[in-house]
């Protein structure tokens, strides 16, 4: 009966803790999302699909042979395994938000150090 005690156990609430290779895969995805300027739509899509993350991970496992034709699937598999965890979407959202904030802070610092700009009119 010991096995039955944990038959319906779920992961604890809160963000999941990825392994180092899973963390690298999530960081690459977050960097690409921010580079393309898709932070807000990505966060909205992730939040809406939070209950379906496990099904999405299983779909990724299913399509892995097809993806392997075009590219190396190491990071792909790591990301799919990470999505199987209950708090993975929360972790991904936190990483994207943190990287986006740090990127905005760097942009703000760069504008402040450049000093004010003046525009001359054609009539002067």
Q: Which residue in 46, 35, 59 sits closest to 94, CA to CA?
A: 46
Residue 88's SS3 state is helix
And the tokens for 58? 């299983």
Residue 11 lies in a domain: no
Is residue 111 situated within a structural domain? no
Cβ-contact 46, 109 below 8 angstroms = no
Please indicate, yes or no, if residue 12 is contained in any of the structural domains.
no
| pTM, to two decimals | 0.72
Domain residues for the domain of 42 are 18-106
Token pair of 97 as six digits: 């938000």
Give the angle 71-75-81 at the CA atoms, nearest 5°. 125
- pLDDT, tens digit (0-9, with 9 covering 90-100), for 19-59: 999 999 999 999 999 999 999 999 999 999 998 999 999 99
Q: Is position 83 within any domain?
A: yes
Is 71 domain-assigned? Answer: yes
Radius of gyration of the chain (CA): 21
Give a yes or no: residue 42 inside a domain. yes
Structure confidence at residue 107 (pLDDT): 63
Q: Is 115 inside any structural domain?
A: no
Query: How many structural domains are present in the chain?
Result: 1
Per-residue pLDDT of 44-100, as tens digits, reads: 999 999 989 999 999 999 999 999 999 888 889 999 999 998 889 999 999 999 999
Sign of CA pseudo-dihedral 7, 22, 96, 37:
negative
Contacts of 85 (CB under 8 A, 6+ apart): 11, 16, 18
Instruction: Say if 62 falls within a structural domain.
Output: yes
Residue 105 has pLDDT above 80, yes or no: no
**Token digits for 9?**
């156990």
């Amino acid at each position: 009966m010991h096995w039955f005690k944990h038959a319906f156990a779920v992961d604890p609430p809160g963000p999941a803790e990825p392994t180092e290779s899973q963390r690298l895969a999530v960081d690459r995805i977050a960097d690409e999302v921010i580079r393309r300027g898709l932070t807000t739509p990505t966060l909205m899509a992730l939040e809406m699909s939070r209950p379906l993350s496990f099904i999405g991970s299983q779909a990724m496992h299913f399509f892995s042979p097809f993806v392997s034709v075009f590219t190396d699937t190491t990071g792909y598999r790591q990301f799919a395994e990470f999505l199987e965890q209950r708090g993975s979407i929360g972790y991904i959202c936190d990483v994207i938000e943190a990287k986006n904030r740090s990127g905005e802070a760097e942009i703000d610092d760069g504008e402040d150090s450049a000093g004010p700009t003046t525009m001359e009119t054609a009539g002067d």
